[in-house]
Amino acid sequence: MTIGTPTVDTLENSGKRIVVDPVTRIEGHMRIEVNVDENNIIRNAVSTGTMWRGIEVILKNRDPRDAWAFTERICGVCTGTHALTSVRAVENALGITIPENANSIRNLMQLALLVHDHVVHFYHLHALDWVDVISSLSADPKATSALAQSVSDWPLSSPGYFKDVQARLRKFIESGQPGPFKNGYWGNASYKLPPEANLMVLTHYLEALDFQKEIVKIHSIFGGKNPHPNWLVGGVPCPINVDGTGGAGAINMERLNMVASVIDQLIEFNDKVYIPDIMAIGAFYKDWLYGGGLSGKNVLAYGDVPEHANDYSEANLKLPRGAIINGNLAEVHPVDHADPEQIQEFVTHSWYRYPDETKGLHPWDGVTEPHYELGPNAKGSKTNIEQLDENAKYSWIKAPRWRGHAMEVGPLARWVLGYAQNKAEFKEPVDKVLKDLGLPLSALFSTFGRTAARALESTWAGHQMRHFQNKLIASVRTGDSYTANVDKWKPETWPRMVKGVGFTEAPRGALAHWIKIKEGRIDNYQCVVPTTWNGSPRDPAGNIGAFEAALLDMPMSDPAQPLEILRTIHSFDPCLACSTH
Amino acid sequence: MALHAKKAVGRLSVHVYDAPVRIWHWVNAFSILTLALTGYFIGSPLTSVSGEASANYLMGRIRFIHFAAAQILTVLLILRVYWVFVGGVHARQIFYMPIWSGRFWKEWSHEVRWYMFMGRQPRKHPGHNPLARFTMFLMFTLPLFFMVITGFALYSDGAGRDSWEYVLFGWVFSIWPNSQDIHTDHHLGMWVILIFAIVHIYVVVREDIMSSQSIISSMFSGERLSKDMED
Amino acid sequence: MATAETFYDVIRRQGITRRSFTKFCSLTAASLGLGPGAANAMAEALQTRQRVPVIWMHGLECTCCSESFIRSAHPLVKDVVLSMISLDYDEMIMAAAGHQAEAILGETRAKYKGKYILAVEGNPPLNEDGMYCIAGGRPFVEKLRWMAEDAMAVIAWGTCAASGCVQAAKPNPTRATPVDKVIHGKPIIKVPGCPPIAEVMTGVLTFIITFDKLPELDRQGRPKMFYSQRVHDKCYRRPHFDAGQFVEEWDDEGARKGYCLYKTGCKGPTTYNACSTVRWNGGVSFPIQSGHGCIGCSEQGFWDQGSFYDRLTNVEQFGIEANADKIGLTAAGVVGGAITAHAAATVIKRVTTKREKTEAQHGQETPS
Ligand code: HEM
Ligand code: HEM
Ligand code: NFV
Ligand code: SF4
Ligand code: SF4
Ligand code: F3S
Ligand SMILES: [Mg+2]
């Protein structure tokens, strides 16, 4: 099963050019241009990150202990994952170890983010690509109830309940002020759910909106707030005091009980709402398996969720790590962040300048120097882009490559890796979904596969949370309530010049920060982010990025309505603030 | 002023510092030292005390002393400003600089030369010499107003948006919207005044010894004695 | 077009009783710190009015203001969107994209001239002709100005829109600019925070639609009701501050007892926000309660106040950075040194002058 990675040679630039700008229901600003042939099949795809803030530039010369707060603001959706990556990078550079309890707490926060981000992504950013809001108004509440009860024993599923929700939606839409539902692509032939399934998922859209705010209470407990909880180089800022003076103001029994209760709720929500909804969608979209792109070819993950503190080796990480090239699932390559030959970023097609743009730079030597210019074949003007010239620079996203390959990262990449590594906790759920839907393994490499992997991961994460919650309590029971290591807190204790790298598996995929520290200050800071990988433009060798690859060969039922483009692009859960930072 | 200076040479003693100025000087000096000490500990607090919070009030007390000294300093500063208008010519000296007067700058450079060991004799001045006046105005008078203004602005942070402090000094936040900046500038202001105080004390002691007029005792008695006449 | 539905219609039809509706109003009013009279006014408003159109725009930002907004516990954001406002444009959640999305802007501008609220999250960059943030192929700032022209009022969400936030931190490579510097002649309500508290956001919005007026603003354009006191003024650790009891080091005895975080850099004393009263995520906690100092995230330029862990701000002076005490002590040291040297020179000079004098006198005395 060896498939070549798509390059520009496979693209067909004739046909009609369609522009989608803004791409909505994503984080940040993005533009897509595609060419469709006479059969409305996409033959060329151009994805562009249309924002840049310069966080890497802003970080220069700052105190490395503050970097987490700056990088956390790269994104408020995957809030916290950049902060965790950052404190890991600083700890790696300075040789700081963290207490075991801090590791459990960080994992709880990271996993809570995973669940939160996946739930919000599916229901609030992605569901309307599969669910027709208008169709739900013609659903029979009784039949909806029957459907819901056949897939799950979630208590909110009586006919009366669905009737009320439907009535509320109807009034809302008929009020003439349909808010976010206005101008949607309702009735498009690519919508395939029956009205009852539409109503069921839409009802859960509203429930998920209520519920998501509970999940993040875990961040609030350990980090004081969400979005943007607080972190600390050397551990976590929240002290534990379960049995002493002043315990009421620290992590105590009441706090731990709240964490436990949130975990119980989210496990239930995943099992009884999220997964059944995904299965319902899968059942009706079985024949719509487009959007595989790089997923069956090149995938990359760094791994995350260390069982024990301070050990970031593959064996200690609960999420898989490795790279698969050219669809060869039989071989998982090891990934080394420090190897200058492995991860490199190119800017030939990005709005940045390098001294030599034919070469990529390893992030430790990375350069971020903005340089906006349109190519000679672009249409419009500098401040009014009508059509981009993808042969020149065309995006604020850099192009990261692993040993020269464009890679897909994210939940699907992780689950493909776990599958390829024969890890039962990844392989079995995947096989079960495929079996229940009657689909072959190849179906995994699709828009739907990405969406399904995310749901499976949400469930997986919930159970891991319970594990680390128990582990934290077991540790405190032994009398260990240590949460921060301050041995090297003071910059006076640091070497004059060091470098380090920190990585996580962010909700959207492999994330790493590379740092160089000189005389107590940040000398260089480079982030290579999941959406930098997925949304990357082309490289000098002509390899196209994951977004672009996924759009190829996908038919559109009505080129005036970019529904399929949105569906496939959304399956990556793009985050543009992340991608360009 | 020139007239005064001429006359002074001929007389044994001349009245320079009115009683209110003298009282102000010493209360002011004491308040500033108190403010600097307490201010320093507001910025860098002492090591934590143990026991119940309700049984301790160390930081509260330090801040209270700062604010009390600040009120005293402010009230006296207001009186001192009043005295600028009703007091003698010397009472006015450090509140403005005659930068337009050529003579001022001539005498100023004479003093500078004297301190750089280039002049043989300091001129006699019944009040402050122009260099002293210059330094006091720049490093004391202006900074002191700055401290009072920023101090009350900071105070209004705690006193609240409905307080008279905010009504009078809230405009400071239009210049520095983040009150952390005001803390920093208020803190830097302390160092300007402290450095002034160090130089000032050195100079008055030195002048007392070196020059031919009374210096330190003048701040007690108000009279400037010409030592030449005593000789 | 069917007649516009009100919030009251909606919840009554859902089988919610008049009584629980009234209860909802009083809870919401209470969460805003308002009296029982206000609850009646709110009930009245929700029963009769058409939903106010809101256009929610995103500039350079991280979207955590939107994320915060959806965390609102009272009112639930579901109820805000379905029944209180008409969120006609918000790239983050709207179904339409591309042309279909952009079309809504022009439509709203024409149909609700002077009647819609323009909510802005993030800010426009001005460098590179605004092309660090591109929307529909054009600079975001153009779209922002264009939609502001016919808005009733502008809400600047978060520290980004209110004062620039992280992308405007030094050296601000894109010249990210707060909203009030590019929109003029419109009331602008700044709701700072990185992000602002969810219930503060929905509180400001529901205040406007309930009382049919804009909230009273302070000198800096922030609603007085949520931004007129410092985190420090209402911090539950304040008794430890007054007592002089501080966390000296992370996870020390003081940290476990909940001492004041002043020495670990807490910016509560200079930060105007409602965190210590309203708290976060349905009142679960706020930064200080979870052991980390306030970093001052609702304050202008909070990124450029030196390390978050230093009590005294670093001041950049002659290329090196030091805090006020280091600068002051250094200067005092230099001055002290100069004084010592000057004193020494004075003594030498005096001794030599005396000798000269004496010699001169001797000379006079000596008969030639
Ligand atoms: C020469 C006179 C003064 C000196 C040397 C002085 C010095 C200081 C210093 C060093 C600080 C600490 C600043 C920091 O790092 O946060 C401070 C704080 C403060 N000062 Fe002053 N100050 C003076 C006058 C005043 C006046 C006139 C007021 C008026 C009320 C005042 C009110 C305050 C307040 C409110 C604070 C902040 C206290 C806190 O944050 O708890 N100061 N002062
Ligand atoms: C041991 C301490 C001090 C001594 C012996 C002392 C002595 C004197 C003397 C002798 C004068 C008159 C100088 C002249 O005629 O040119 C004077 C003036 C003055 N001193 Fe001090 N001083 C002391 C501390 C301070 C301090 C701490 C400050 C404030 C930071 C201060 C501020 C002033 C000011 C502002 C004047 C000018 C008064 C006026 O003209 O209104 N002094 N001092
Ligand atoms: N891409 C991305 Fe993120 C994630 N997940 C971060 O690293 O979303 Ni804003
Ligand atoms: S103010 Fe802060 S939280 Fe809001 S968008 Fe800006 S960076 Fe994000
Ligand atoms: S923890 Fe911060 S806000 Fe609270 S009392 Fe201490 S300094 Fe003030
Ligand atoms: S950091 Fe921000 S969230 Fe509140 S406590 Fe401080 S203002
Ligand atoms: Mg980067």
Residue B85 lies in a domain: yes
Same domain for C276 and C151?
Answer: no
Same domain for C329 and C287?
Answer: no
Residue C198 lies in a domain: yes
Mean pLDDT for the stretch of residues B150-163? 96
Write the CATH number for C192: 3.40.50.700
**Contact with chain C for residue A136, Cβ under 8 A:** no
Residue B150 lies in a domain: yes
Same domain for B82 and B125?
Answer: no
Residue C150 lies in a domain: yes
Residue C281 lies in a domain: yes
Same domain for B66 and B152?
Answer: no
Residue B103 lies in a domain: yes
Write the CATH number for C266: 4.10.480.10
Among protein residues, the one with the nearest Cα to ligand 5's atom 6 is C260
Same domain for B68 and B147?
Answer: no
Same domain for C120 and C222?
Answer: yes
A225/C236 Cα distance (integer angstroms): 16
Longest CA pairwise span in chain B (Å): 68
Which pLDDT score, from 0 to 100, does residue B116 have?
87
Same domain for B208 and B138?
Answer: yes
β-strands A343-346, A399-402: how paired? Answer: antiparallel
> For the segment A405-444, what is each residue's pLDDT rounded down to a tens digit?
999 999 999 999 999 999 999 999 999 999 999 999 999 9
Longest CA pairwise span in chain A (Å): 75
**Contact with chain B for residue C267, Cβ under 8 A:** yes
Task: Find where tokens 């993040």 sit.
Answer: A216
Same domain for C136 and C247?
Answer: no
- Which residue type does B86 have? V
Number of domains, chain C: 3
> For the segment B8-61, what is each residue's pLDDT rounded down to a tens digit?
444 578 888 889 999 999 999 999 999 999 999 999 999 999 999 999 999 999
Mapping DSSP to helix (H, G, I), strand (E, B) and coil, where does residue A29 land?
A: coil
A495/A457 Cα distance (integer angstroms): 40
Closest alpha carbon within chain C to A238: C291
Same domain for B204 and B147?
Answer: yes
Residue C142 lies in a domain: yes
Quick check: C286 and C200 in contact, CB under 8 A?
A: no
**Which ligand is nearest the CA of C265, by number?**
5
Listed residue (B215, B90, A180) closest to C93, CA to CA: A180
Which has the higher per-residue pLDDT, C45 or B89? B89
A83/C174 Cα distance (integer angstroms): 23
Buried b (16+ CB within 10 A) or exposed e, C327-344: bbeebbeebeeebeebee
Alpha-carbon distance B67 to nearest alpha carbon in chain C (angstroms): 14
Same domain for B120 and B210?
Answer: yes
> For the segment C235-285, what is each residue's pLDDT rounded down to a tens digit?
999 999 999 999 999 999 999 999 999 999 999 999 999 999 999 999 999
Same domain for C253 and C298?
Answer: yes
CB-based contact C300 B158, cutoff 8 Å: no
CB-based contact C308 A232, cutoff 8 Å: no
Which pLDDT score, from 0 to 100, does residue A1 have?
35
Quick check: B115 and B131 in contact, CB under 8 A?
A: yes
- Strand partners of residue C191: C157
Listed residue (A306, A323, A296) closest to A421, CA to CA: A323
> For the segment A476-535, what is each residue's pLDDT rounded down to a tens digit?
999 999 999 999 999 999 999 999 999 999 999 999 999 999 999 999 999 999 999 999
Listed residue (C229, C157, C146) closest to C194, CA to CA: C157
Q: What is the dihedral of CA C303, A29, A228, B160, to 10 degrees?
A: 60
Which has the higher per-residue pLDDT, A14 or A153? A153
Q: Which residues of A touch C4 (CB under 8 A)?
A: 175-177
A50/A454 Cα distance (integer angstroms): 26
Residue C367 lies in a domain: no
From the CA of C217, how far away is ligand 1's center (Å)?
Answer: 28
Number of domains, chain B: 2
A255/A234 Cα distance (integer angstroms): 22
Same domain for B108 and B28?
Answer: no
Q: What is the DSSP letter of C112?
A: T
The pLDDT of residue A316 is above 90: yes
> For the segment A109-118, what is each residue's pLDDT rounded down to a tens digit?
999 999 999 9
Same domain for B148 and B87?
Answer: no
Closest alpha carbon within chain B to C304: B181
pLDDT tens digit at each of 368 positions of chain C:
344 556 666 556 555 667 777 776 777 666 665 666 777 766 666 666 689 999 999 999 999 999 999 999 999 999 999 999 999 999 999 999 999 999 999 999 999 999 999 999 999 999 999 999 999 999 999 999 999 999 999 999 999 999 999 999 999 999 999 999 999 999 999 999 999 999 999 999 999 999 999 999 999 999 999 999 999 999 999 999 999 999 999 999 999 999 999 999 999 999 999 999 999 999 999 999 999 999 999 999 999 999 999 999 988 766 677 899 999 999 999 999 999 999 998 888 888 877 776 766 665 544 43
The pLDDT of residue B7 is above 60: no
Which pLDDT score, from 0 to 100, does residue C209 have?
92
CB-based contact C244 B188, cutoff 8 Å: no
Same domain for B68 and B115?
Answer: no
Same domain for B120 and B102?
Answer: yes
Same domain for C63 and C211?
Answer: yes
Strands (E), chain C: 52-58, 85-90, 117-121, 134-135, 138-139, 153-157, 188-191, 314-317, 320-323
Same domain for C176 and C118?
Answer: yes
**Domain span holding position B171:** 98-214
Chains near C, with 3+ CB pairs < 8 A? A, B
Q: What is the DSSP letter of B44?
A: S
Among protein residues, the one with the nearest Cα to ligand 5's atom 8 is C232
- Strand partners of residue C317: C320
What is this model's ipTM?
A: 0.95
Which pLDDT score, from 0 to 100, does residue B125 have?
80
Residue C224 in tokens: 């007085």
The pLDDT of residue A130 is above 50: yes
Beta carbons within 10 angstroms of residue B53's beta carbon: 21
The pLDDT of residue A320 is above 80: yes
Mean per-residue pLDDT over chain A, rounded: 97
**Contact with chain C for residue B59, Cβ under 8 A:** yes
**Contact with chain B for residue C283, Cβ under 8 A:** no
Same domain for C210 and C156?
Answer: yes
Helix, strand, coil shares, percent, chain C, to 5? 50, 15, 35
Q: How far is CA C335 from CA A321, B198, C347, in A?
A: 61, 8, 18
Quick check: B230 and B32 in contact, CB under 8 A?
A: no
For the ranges A9-23, B95-109, C8-22, C143-157, the maximum mean pLDDT occurs at C143-157
Mapping DSSP to helix (H, G, I), strand (E, B) and coil, where does residue A83 land?
A: helix
The string of DSSP letters for C258-273 reads T-B-GGGT--GGG-B-
Q: Which residues of C touch A181 (CB under 8 A)?
A: 95
Q: Which of residues 357-376 of A touch C (CB under 8 A)?
A: 370, 372
**Domain span holding position C329:** 317-349
Residue B201 lies in a domain: yes
Strands (E), C161-289: 188-191
User: What is the separation of C-alpha C315 from the centre of its chain, rounded to a whole number of angstroms?
Assistant: 22
Beta carbons within 10 angstroms of residue C125's beta carbon: 28
Which pLDDT score, from 0 to 100, does residue A6 have?
83
Residue B1 — very low, low, confident or very high, per pLDDT cuts 50/70/90? very low
From the CA of A119, how far away is ligand 2's center (Å)?
Answer: 71
Mapping DSSP to helix (H, G, I), strand (E, B) and coil, where does residue C174 land?
A: coil
Write the CATH number for B148: 1.20.950.20
Q: Which residues of A touch C295 (CB under 8 A)?
A: 69, 230
> For the segment A302-312, what is each residue's pLDDT rounded down to a tens digit?
999 999 999 99
Same domain for B103 and B161?
Answer: yes
Residue A274 in tokens: 């999220």
Cα angle value A545/A550/A554 (rounded, 5°): 140
Alpha-carbon distance C292 to nearest alpha carbon in chain B (angstroms): 18
Same domain for C88 and C218?
Answer: yes
Beta carbons within 10 angstroms of residue A575's beta carbon: 31
Mean pLDDT for the stretch of residues B219-229? 78
User: What is the separation of C-alpha A179 from the centre of its chain, rounded to a whole number of angstroms?
Assistant: 27
Residue C363 lies in a domain: no
Mapping DSSP to helix (H, G, I), strand (E, B) and coil, where does residue A307 land?
A: coil
Q: How far is CA A526 from CA A86, A349, A580, C190, in A?
A: 10, 19, 11, 32
Residue B31 lies in a domain: yes
The pLDDT of residue A54 is above 90: yes
Residue C285 lies in a domain: yes
Residue C53 in tokens: 């159109």
Same domain for B122 and B208?
Answer: yes
